[in-house]
Structure formats: C-alpha cells, structure tokens
Amino acid sequence: MATTIRPATRADIPQILKFIRALAAYERAPEAVMATEADLERDGFGPNPFYFCLIAEHEGCPAGFALYFFNYSTWLGRPGLYLEDLFVEPELRGLGIGKALLEQVAAIAVEKGCGRLQWAVLDWNTPAIDFYLAVGAEFMDEWRTVRVNGEALEVLAVRAGGACAP
Amino acid sequence: MATTIRPATRADIPQILKFIRALAAYERAPEAVMATEADLERDGFGPNPFYFCLIAEHEGCPAGFALYFFNYSTWLGRPGLYLEDLFVEPELRGLGIGKALLEQVAAIAVEKGCGRLQWAVLDWNTPAIDFYLAVGAEFMDEWRTVRVNGEALEVLAVRAGGACAP
C-alpha cells in the first residue's frame, strides 16, 4: 500500500483546513468551521503549539489527517493523547489509511508516556464506531460531555471578577 | 463568604492528591487513582506543564480544587479549556465554592482566548448536572467518548512500526 504518514508542516496548512472543512461537512456541520489558515498557523506551529498534526499521503497525494493534543489523567498521573480529528478522503476509504493514522497516533501516545488515547464519535456514525470497536476501543457511555460556549462563558467569567491563572 | 481561590503551588501537591482521591471515591472508582505526588509534581509544575490547578480555601482551610488544561477546536480555530476535575469537600457544599471555582476557570478561559469550556459528568450525578444546567452549560449527548487503554493501546502502537511525532 503506497501510503505514507508524516508530521504536518506549515506548507500543509491550506490542506489541513480543507480536511477540517470536509470532516465538518461529513459531521453535518459544514457552517461550523470558523478557523482560518492564520489561526491554524498561530496555534499549531509556534513555540508552544496547542495541537499537532499528521498527514497521510496515498500515491503522493494528500489522503487524510490526524490532529491531536495532550490531556491529563489525574487517576493515572500521566498525560493522555486526545485525537481531535481523524479524516480520510471518501474516495480513499477502505484502503487502511484511517487505521494507519490511528496506529501512528497510538505509537506517538506510547512514545510520550501516555496512559490512554481518547476521542469522540457522533452516535450515528456507525462505520466509525465499528472501526473503533475492531481496534479494541471502549465506549465511556456513562460520561456526558458538557460545554459552556460563547455568551454563557462570558457571563460565567464576568462573575469571577478577574482571572487568577497560574 | 470567606472563600478565596488561588493557583496551586508545589506545596499543595499532597492536598491535590487527597482531593483527587476523594473525587474518585465520589465517582465510585476509589481504586482507580494510581497517581503519586511525584507524578503530580513532574506533570504540573515543570517548564511545560500538562495541567494547571486552582485551590479554593474556606476560612483558611482547603475546601476544593479545579484542575484543567487546554485543548483545541479545529472548528473555532482557537484553544479551549478542559476542566478535568472539580471538587468541593462534602461538608462545605452549598456555600457557592464550586460555582466560584467554575467562574474562576471560565475567567481564565476567556483571558486565554478560549472559545469554550468543556468537561464531563457521570450520567447518574444529578446534583452536578442540575448545577451545570443552571450556569448555562449544554450537553453534547450526540457525541460518544471513545478510549483505547493499556494493552490495546500498546497493540495498536506496535502495528505502526515506530512513531513519527512532530
């Protein structure tokens, strides 16, 4: 299989944004992508990046990406790896590219001393769910994800009367 | 209300571990905490910490904590703040200490340019769920959390035949 996986560079930013938009469209939220190339460069390619990215190429062409960062488990006392985005071009699915990306992310997690690899999947995305079960993933269905966005976040923050970040 | 909130220091590590253990016991997983004081010092108080921590004190005594780190939204093109742990001593609940911690975390999120504040709650934890709804949180119930742990992670990693981290 002529698939290679490599870390993304600044030159990949336009392609990364295309992948992000294609994944959002697949996830039925095409209008949700506000990110710009400048955002992705500032946040992923500076001295203290908020994210890391792998690019998969198939026969020399961009085929997919995996975008991740590190979280922390206070139970394990070790970092974890969180896979924010995993995407393969629809016409290149079924060739093992998604699995190769996931395996590479797992290798990075182990290399960095992470105790676990975590991500999220939409409940209707049966092909992805079946794929994840096949690689030994567990579903943490007793945990509900909670989010405070935009205006509600501002309201909550104002009540604090100033930040005291370390 | 004689409650103060401040960033944790190295001197708080034994208390942070007590809070982590008390939260795990409340979450019906008292045996899950493998973390040691040395782990928490290495990962939270070095040059590139994996987590940050706030301590709440009530009338001069440790009352609770909030432990967080940053994630990334490829849709917003901005970091987010992830609240891993929020805990208040049982005998000090109902005094607004949890809310004060959450507000302080929100203020840090806004100060750092985060587009959202996110966390997870166990589906049976009704008091917490009601509290989160009251502060304007949304539940992302269409997303399922997926995890690969321990041996399954090692198996996946070995298949990659070596890491290519950026």
What residue segments make up the domains of chain B, in order of their start? 3-158
Chain B residue at shortest CA distance from A157: B107
Say yes or no for a CB contact (<8 Å) between A43 and B72: yes
pLDDT computed for residue B161 by the predictor: 74
Q: Which of residues 116-155 of A touch B (CB under 8 A)?
A: 116-124, 129, 132, 135-150, 152-155
Residue numbers in B near A153 (CB within 8 A): 106, 109-110, 114, 116-117
CB contact (8 A) between residue A144 and residue B149: no
The Cα-based distances of B73 to A36, A78, A143, A165, B147 in angstroms read 12, 23, 20, 21, 19
Is B77's pLDDT higher than 90? yes
| A11 contacts: CB under 8 Å, gap ≥ 6 | none
For residue A87, the distance in angstroms to the closest alpha carbon of chain B comes to: 13
pLDDT tens-place string over residues B24-74: 999 999 999 999 999 999 999 999 999 999 999 999 999 999 999 999 999
Q: Tell whether B8 lies on the interface with A, counting CB pairs under 8 A.
A: yes
| Sequential pLDDT tens for chain A (166 residues) | 589 999 999 999 999 999 999 999 999 999 999 999 999 999 999 999 999 999 999 999 999 999 999 999 999 999 999 999 999 999 999 999 999 999 999 999 999 999 999 999 999 999 999 999 999 999 999 999 999 998 999 999 998 876 676 6
Which one of A35, A75, A120 has the shortest CB-CB distance to B34?
A: A75
Tell whether A115 lies on the interface with B, counting CB pairs under 8 A. yes
Average pLDDT over residues B95-123: 96
The pTM for the full model equals 0.94
For every residue of chain A, DSSP letters joined together read --EEEEE--GGGHHHHHHHHHHHHHHTT-GGG----HHHHHHHHSSSS-S-EEEEEEETTEEEEEEEEEEEEETTTTEEEEEEEEEEE-GGGTTSSHHHHHHHHHHHHHHHTT-SEEEEEEETT-HHHHHHHHHTT-EE-TTEEEEEEEHHHHHHHHHHHTS----
**How far is the C-alpha of A29 from the C-alpha of A23, rounded, in Å?**
9
pLDDT of A1 reads 54
**Arch. (CATH architecture) of B3-158:** 3-Layer(aba) Sandwich (3.40)
| pLDDT score for B165 | 65
pLDDT of B166 above 80: no
- Could you confirm whether A72 is annotated as catalytic? no
pLDDT at B147 over 60: yes
User: Residue B102 pLDDT > 60, yes or no?
Assistant: yes
Among A51, A68, A82, A132, the one annotated catalytic? A132
